[in-house]
Amino acid sequence: MASHPTNLHFVLFPLMAQGHMIPMIDMARMLAQRGSIVTIITTPVNANRFKSVIDRAIEANLNIQILELQFPCVEVGLPKGCENFDLLPSYAHADNMILAMNMLEEPAENMLRGLCPPPSCIISDGCFPWTNDVAKRLSIPRVVFYGPGCFAFLCIHIVTRTNILDEIDSNSEYFVMPGLPDQIEVTKPQASTWGRGDTKESTVVFERMQEAEIDALGIVVNSFEELEPKYVEGLAKAKDKNVWCIGPVSLCNKSFQDRAERGNRTAINRHDCLKWLDSREAGSVIYVCLGSLSYASTEQAIELGLGLESSNIPFLWFMRHTSEDFEAWLSKEGYEERIKGRGVMVRGWAPQILILSHHAIGGFVTHCGWNSTLEGISAGIPMVTWPHFAEQFLNERFIINVLKIGVRIGMDVPIMFAELDESKVIVKRDDVKEVVESLMKNDEEGEARRKRSREFAVVAKRAMEEGGSSHRNMTSMIQAVLEELAKNTTPIQDIV
């Protein structure tokens, strides 16, 4: 049930990428549970992905709605209906997506001007810097959301606001990241794959994002203070902004339906999937999922499959993308028949928080996207880290060096997002086997990792409960919006 009304109307602009969209939908429901009116503005294809979750929220008397903006796919050279980064015909088309996103400013502003009651605050993904201009024209506060946690975001701040990378010539040598409470070593490419990106268009957007951030009321983060206290403090100081950690937002999904359908419709009958897990011993299965955008070449997928098979550890492997060549290999080798009984391979979207919370899961092979990282932490599951791009290598350092709840697979070279289709970087089957067995081992080191993982899960749940740090931070954010509005009493209808 919603708490007493705040008379605030939050308008959310989630980025069209699952790793950004999913936590913002959770955030929308959390705000509505606090008695606020919430409007989510997105495009038709994306709205359809979480329609059932929002419909259930409305049935539970939450004041929440989705409004749809037509996405100019065809105008920018994208196929009709290509409204999410995971639907791009190839990753080289990312710039077309950015171009289309920038064309939403005028229709979005027209939509906001017609809202009743008028918006009190915009919470925008950082990748929509134009929402800052709209917020200024409407004289309403704007809060920004980026995706990464405070540790990665502080690292990103350091490398983008200093000349540290200009002083480093080598792309393969590790250096110590300056200005951090822990000794963190990264290579130049690992430290710089989030942000400016590798194209002119992505660089322009990043620079606009930094400018827009200056005017933001604060930054909202899907994390919890107890997980990274020194980095929450460091980020707030570096940005000279309010930093509100309000997560792990995935824990707001209480019902089986909400947890099963979070993000997208699943690729497998979830009951079959859970039934198979029910038949396994506690902590015996390793779950493998490399995210909604990560891409494995045919050769890499084969090496991963053979490594899992030879490890002799039960596994549940979700693949978001497969190729015709890989499917032909599976068929020719009879791979799925060979692993029957010990392994299950699924193509498509995984009901991840349902899987991770199952008692049979004992380890998680992850691409280190922040959502997946936080979901693994919330479930108390140690991880094999296999980063690909963006801030994933920084998240790996956090998992391994700060939290000490993971084992590296040994991926050192980032893959640029636009070049994912041509990736030739290969992790060999023997490395897969070795690292999976190492994570699942019941030795002293393995037990210590599991114990730390379980402890973080307990604290994560406590943070989200009434009176917990994330619950208090949500209150603090709402209060900051109310105070900001009190300074400006001009009704939006009067703003020309």
CA distance 144 to 152: 16
Which CATH architecture is the domain 266-459 placed in?
3-Layer(aba) Sandwich (3.40)
Q: What was the pLDDT predicted at 312?
A: 85
Q: Phi, psi at residue 186, to the nearest 5°?
A: -140, 165
In 3D space, the residue among 379, 347, 382 whose CA is nearest the CA of residue 366 turns out to be 382
CB within 8 A of 442, min separation 6: which ones? Answer: none
Q: Which CATH class is domain 9-253+464-490?
A: alpha beta
In 3D space, the residue among 340, 345, 350, 360 whose CA is nearest the CA of residue 275 turns out to be 360
Cα dihedral 161, 167, 173, 178 in deg (nearest 10): -40
Q: Is the pLDDT of residue 418 over 50?
A: no
Q: What was the pLDDT predicted at 255?
A: 66
Domains 9-253+464-490 and 266-459 share a fold: yes
Q: Is the pLDDT of residue 2 over 90?
A: no
Q: pTM for the complete prediction? A: 0.91
Residue range 314-370, pLDDT digits in tens: 999 998 778 888 899 999 999 999 999 899 988 877 788 899 999 999 999 999 999
Residues forming a β-bridge with 408: 385
Residue range 60-117, pLDDT digits in tens: 999 999 999 999 999 999 999 999 988 888 778 888 998 999 999 999 999 999 999 9
The average pLDDT across 153-163 equals 88
Stretch (H or E) spanning 189: helix 188-191
Domain ranges of the chain: 9-253+464-490, 266-459
- Beta strands 175-176 and 185-186, pairing class: antiparallel
In 3D space, the residue among 148, 157, 154 whose CA is nearest the CA of residue 181 turns out to be 154
